[in-house]
Amino acid sequence: MSITILGIETSCDETSAAVLVDGVDLRSNIISSQIEIHKKFGGVVPEVASRKHLENVHPVIIEALEKADVTPGDLSAVAVTYGPGLVGALLVGVAAAKAMAYALDIPLIGVNHLEGHIAANFLAQPDLEFPLLCLVVSGGHSDLVYLPSRGEYRLLGRTRDDAAGEAFDKVARAMGLGYPGGPLIDKLAREGNPEAVQFPRAFLEEGSLDFSFSGLKSAVLNYLNRAAMLKEDINKADLAASFQRAVVEVLVEKTMMAVQRTGVKTIMMAGGVAANGGLRALLQERASAAGCRVVLPPLHLCTDNAAMIACAGYYKYLRGDFAPLTLNAVPALAL
Ligand code: KG4
Ligand code: ZN
């Protein structure tokens, strides 16, 4: 008998539902993005996000089931993101998942959003051998996570201030590029010189695997303010490339330190910033020099989606790790 999981994701500004069979056969992954709505505010407005999720969650679930050609009766379980994220946004997905699990009398599975991002790697490559290391870089997180075995996570390093994606978004906003900033800077950086502007790299104390990007963000803002004051023209492509290089070098350097410390042979990446071209290229280069293999989710599975939640849910299903119907949203849920 096959195991068919419905995944639901509503932690931020994407309403998504996916149907995954046996952990690898992705039958549908519907993503309704609210980016166009939040764009005019320069970032996600939580109250607006919750209301939009409420409008979208039902049609998105129906579409995911129809596209997958399954009926609710075919489902083995419903897996849903219950944190971390925006509380009002999470609650919509959690309520929908609970209602379905109750009505269909099937297990409910609560998934940590970061566990979901990491699981995007297992969709294409379910047989990766543990131990593994994962650099999780999203709008809210910059974490180095060690996975000794499936379902076990040890946090080796985290951001002390801004997350990598947050730094991309704030710098892009200051440069007048728009929202979300990561993809826009990534694109612009391809035409720029990463050596043009010297920005600081925060490595913190000797041996630390934590990150800090607020100093770099301030350095870019100071650079922009100074240019505006002196009425100097700036080369936006050079600025984007130099900023991106500063972020990427620290991320890759610390990842390679974690590789040395743990002795892992396979490095994964996860989260929206894992779609960054500069980051993917430098990690590949440094890892292959160290004799390590790099596993990267396809670009469309790096940013928020329900396929990754269904995948994490599949492995929890195999372990019998189910949630009670009293499951609640946990905005600051830790991995
Ligand atoms: O994982 P995600 O979709 O949502 C969170 O869980 O936060 O990540 C969104 C973040 C945003 O900050 C966005 O600017 C960034 O990922 N991002 C990128 C790229 N694509 C998305 N950052 C750098 N380069 C990209 N190509
Ligand atoms: Zn995310």
What was the pLDDT predicted at 34? 85
Say yes or no: 16 and 113 in one domain.
yes
User: Does residue 272 fall inside a structural domain?
Assistant: yes
> From ligand 1's centre to the CA of 189, what distance in Å?
15
User: Does residue 334 fall inside a structural domain?
Assistant: no
User: Does residue 335 fall inside a structural domain?
Assistant: no
User: Does residue 44 fall inside a structural domain?
Assistant: yes
Say yes or no: 26 and 110 in one domain.
yes
Cα–Cα distances (Å) from 317 to 2, 26, 76, 183, in that order, read 12, 16, 9, 34
The CA-CA-CA angle for residues 297, 132, 276, to 5°, reads 30
> Which CATH number does the domain housing residue 23 bear?
3.30.420.40
Ligand 1 in contact with 171 (CB < 6 A)?
no
For the purposes of burial, counting CB atoms within 10 Å of the CB of 48, is it exposed (0-12), middle (13-18) or buried (19 or more)?
A: middle
Atom of ligand 1 nearest to the CA of 11: 6
Say yes or no: 163 and 229 in one domain.
yes
43/246 Cα distance (integer angstroms): 23
User: Does residue 135 fall inside a structural domain?
Assistant: yes
Domain of residue 198 covers 129-299
236/177 Cα distance (integer angstroms): 9
Number of domains in the chain: 2
Nearest of 155, 264, 165, 140 to residue 210 by alpha carbon: 155
Say yes or no: 171 and 248 in one domain.
yes
Say yes or no: 81 and 215 in one domain.
no
What was the pLDDT predicted at 43? 81
Please give the ipTM for the structure prediction: 0.98
What was the pLDDT predicted at 38? 84
Ligand 1 in contact with 278 (CB < 6 A)?
no
Say yes or no: 102 and 215 in one domain.
no
Say yes or no: 224 and 275 in one domain.
yes
Is 157 a known ligand-binding residue?
no
Is 38 a known ligand-binding residue?
no
What was the pLDDT predicted at 1? 87
Say yes or no: 259 and 312 in one domain.
no
Say yes or no: 172 and 285 in one domain.
yes
> From ligand 2's centre to the CA of 58, what distance in Å?
21
Say yes or no: 223 and 104 in one domain.
no
> From ligand 1's centre to the CA of 6, what distance in Å?
24
For the entire predicted model, the pTM comes to 0.95
What was the pLDDT predicted at 216? 96
12/19 Cα distance (integer angstroms): 20
What was the pLDDT predicted at 22? 98
Ligand 1 in contact with 271 (CB < 6 A)?
yes
Region at 13 (left for phi over 0; alpha for psi -120 to 50; beta for the rest):
alpha
Atom of ligand 1 nearest to the CA of 165: 12
Say yes or no: 13 and 156 in one domain.
no
Atom of ligand 1 nearest to the CA of 271: 1
Helix (H, G, I), strand (E, B), or coil: what is residue 73? helix
Say yes or no: 310 and 183 in one domain.
no
> From ligand 2's centre to the CA of 44, what distance in Å?
13
Is 178 a known ligand-binding residue?
no
User: Does residue 247 fall inside a structural domain?
Assistant: yes
User: Does residue 224 fall inside a structural domain?
Assistant: yes
Ligand 1 in contact with 168 (CB < 6 A)?
yes
Per-residue pLDDT 10s for the chain (335 aa) are 899 999 999 999 899 999 999 999 999 999 998 888 888 888 888 888 899 999 999 999 999 999 999 999 999 999 999 999 999 999 999 999 999 999 999 999 999 999 999 999 999 899 999 999 999 999 999 999 999 999 999 999 999 999 999 999 999 999 999 989 999 999 999 999 999 999 999 988 989 999 999 999 999 999 999 999 999 999 999 999 999 999 999 999 999 999 999 999 999 999 999 999 999 999 999 999 999 999 999 999 999 999 999 999 999 999 999 999 999 999 999 99
CB 255 within 8 A of CB 285: no
User: Does residue 123 fall inside a structural domain?
Assistant: no
